[in-house]
Structure 1
């Protein structure tokens, strides 16, 4: 969690990192804006243009700027403390508290020499606690922050009262001091709370994705168990029977071992079929999956045209890989808000078009991927997709389009499309793939 690598460019950050960075930058600008507005404005009309008042006012301005620097320096650790990522070191508050005491003293001295009008004094009072409370509001609960704000208001009011401020001006110091603290409370605290909720949501999405992967692994494991479980049990039983027959010198042991060999080869083929079934990409499934994944990432995805269910299996598989790769590139490159997937089928060809409004920045365009290790065909990069489509006399075009769009178009002719060379996966009971299965009874091994 949090923004990692502040030196990275804007385009290299995820959406959550951009929001986080924008939020922190906005909070870091608050003390500077208030210092320039509330601490600098009185120099025009409210501070007497004499050496001592101007010197005190300038010193107070410099102290306020130093407070802003410390506030920005402490913003990141205080933000991380609020998000629960790390603990804020309390020693970092010593310097801001010291500068606050100096600022209150300078403000009281400026009022004591009658160097500032009431309106200017109230503006300076507004700014005095801002830099410190921006850090403090992220470190303590709201109730404690309000108590500390009252104590801080009492400190400022008491210092100005000792300096000789009286009447309505002194009465106005109290709401001005409290207003600055409350303003920070209702602006900075909700912003940090919103970021905390969004980071938790982002973390939940990551956990959900990992759970989906774990569930898929379990499903794959169940499929493998269903395919191999009975056949391996049959192989074990027939091998045991062959050993017993061989020990008795009976020639039927050879037949049993031949049967074991046949079942093992059949099991090997079924394993290949299971793995191939997981590698093959079904068009309708990939369209639904791409729409779900993009929508979950905050990208409005629309699928139009034909579902492609009547297309030959090789065409569906090739286009399914195109959809999968296109959806991956939409998430990985650029920052789209909308994505449209169109499937058009004519008498002589089928065309798949994926279009989004997040054209990749220079240097981030998807590069051809290497072949997948252990796969039966080329990889899922653009070069691999072209090879898949070329096997069906198809073509692939990808690049920027008008209106800041990025468009990927895959076209496959439907005339004389090769039929799938692989037999569809059929999970058969062990008794069907291995006739003459041996079962164990109380009296020994018996053939059914």
Structure 2
């Protein structure tokens, strides 16, 4: 039993906020008919029904019919929700059994009143409960105006059946508002809840479409940038190569000049392609901080950036910390149910420390490593990036439902004796080389 409860709790935590609201709304519609039956049908059976064999038998039979109506109502909840949300069409034949049980229940209630087996208050409660299980489904299948007309028809039917059974006076007059109250109660409780749920699902679908459009737009932009970078240069290379061939065939020395120009354009194109790709592969710290703040706030999570801006840090350090911010924001959205997130950046003379802390940490947040291979894939990828700069990464729960991720990168001390033209060194001590491999081959020649 404890294992099953833990499984339910884990399943609840793994659901998104919208999925939780959806489940809560459906469970509410499932439970309401049973609550009405237990309060409006079972209580009169004990207090208001005359304790004689025939009235008790009729009362028990009516209770069984009401419980069967509740079961059929639960069975029709899922398809009625799908019909209202527009994902499928509700088969009308499924309403035949609930309607038949409603007529049987009204017949038993009339027979109970005819043998003078129930008091006035109990009769009103039973009349109010009679159509509840049926209208819980019907309210999602028809427009509001049609539902109100059908509710009036149910009121007229209930009143007519009880009048035929001999109910008179104030009790009969009270049946009208009591029955109508039950129908209106279902209308104002179930219909708005389902409408709100449909609006939220539409908003979720709109966000998915917006995300797909953003990806498509980014692909188009990348294709456009590559075309702008390579299109003209490749055309020039093709033309100059053809010219060099013609000149070489004629024995003209200008062919060498044309091929040198082709080589220069090819090298320039190579560097331009690197610049374009670098813009997509490297993460800028200020851009990632602004992007993480915007994305988290758009998801309803309070996000605050505290401390230094990081603008004075070296480019490799900014790129590594930018990847940390990107992965941390992704994990905040993916794991747990956070409401607040704080990003702290502190730089000293010896090291720079980036901390990301959020509440609502779940059991999966602490083990959010998405893979050990590949750059930028999970916490393992971040440790590899930080390790190249002698940095470290710590991640785990911090108590009180908090999850904390801390990245540290040591900063090299400035060398006052270094010449301005000396080669720059990275945080790991390697000399950064920017020479073109093709140029190195030419030098060796």
Counterpart pick for 2:88 among 81, 86, 89: 86
Q: Which moved more, 1:267-276 or 1:399-408?
A: 267-276
- Mapped partners of 2:212, 2:143: distance in 1: 34
Cross-structure match for 2:376: 379
The answer to whether the 8 A contact 2:129-2:182 is kept is yes
TM-score (norm. length: structure 2): 0.89
- Mapped partners of 2:41, 2:209: distance in 1: 48
Cross-structure match for 1:437: none
Cross-structure match for 2:397: 400
Cross-structure match for 1:128: 130
Counting only pairs closer than 5 Å after superposition, residues 99-138 of structure 1 correspond to structure 2 as 99-138=101-140
Higher relative contact order (CA 8 A, sep 6+): 1
Counterpart pick for 1:284 among 283, 286, 301: 286
Structure 1 residue 254 displacement after superposition: 4.2
Cross-structure match for 2:409: 412
Unmatched tracts of structure 2, length 5 or more? 1-7, 414-424, 436-445
Cross-structure match for 2:308: 306
Residue by residue over 1:265-302, the C-alpha shift from the partner in whole angstroms, topping out at 9 and shown as x without a partner, is 33123212211221101111101111111111111111
Counterpart pick for 1:421 among 415, 419, 432: 432
Structure 1 residue 368 displacement after superposition: 4.6
Structure 1 residue 364 displacement after superposition: 6.9
Query: In the comparison of the two structures, how many residue pairs are matched?
Result: 414
Cross-structure match for 1:16: 18
- Per the alignment, in what secondary structure is the counterpart of residue 76 of structure 2? helix
- Mapped partners of 2:366, 2:42: distance in 1: 46
Cross-structure match for 2:190: 188
> C-alpha root-mean-square deviation of aligned residues, in Å?
2.0
Query: Residue 161 in 1 paired to residue 163 in 2?
Result: yes
Structure 1 residue 422 displacement after superposition: 6.9
- Mapped partners of 2:178, 2:157: distance in 1: 13
Structure with a larger share of its residues in helix: 2
Residue by residue over 1:11-68, the C-alpha shift from the partner in whole angstroms, topping out at 9 and shown as x without a partner, is 2211111110011111111111111000111022200111111111111111111111
- Mapped partners of 1:297, 1:197: distance in 2: 16
The answer to whether the 8 A contact 1:321-1:380 is kept is no
Distance change (3 Å), C-alpha of 1:8 and 1:334: closer
- Mapped partners of 2:112, 2:384: distance in 1: 79
TM-score (norm. length: structure 1): 0.88
Cross-structure match for 1:429: none
- Mapped partners of 1:363, 1:159: distance in 2: 61
- Mapped partners of 2:340, 2:433: distance in 1: 37
Structure 1 residue 247 displacement after superposition: 4.6
Cross-structure match for 1:175: 177
Structure 1 residue 245 displacement after superposition: 2.6
Residue by residue over 1:115-156, the C-alpha shift from the partner in whole angstroms, topping out at 9 and shown as x without a partner, is 000100000011111111010000100110111111111111
- Per the alignment, in what secondary structure is the counterpart of residue 408 of structure 2? strand
- Mapped partners of 2:272, 2:434: distance in 1: 10
Q: Which moved more, 1:41-50 or 1:411-420?
A: 411-420
- Per the alignment, in what secondary structure is the counterpart of residue 380 of structure 2? helix
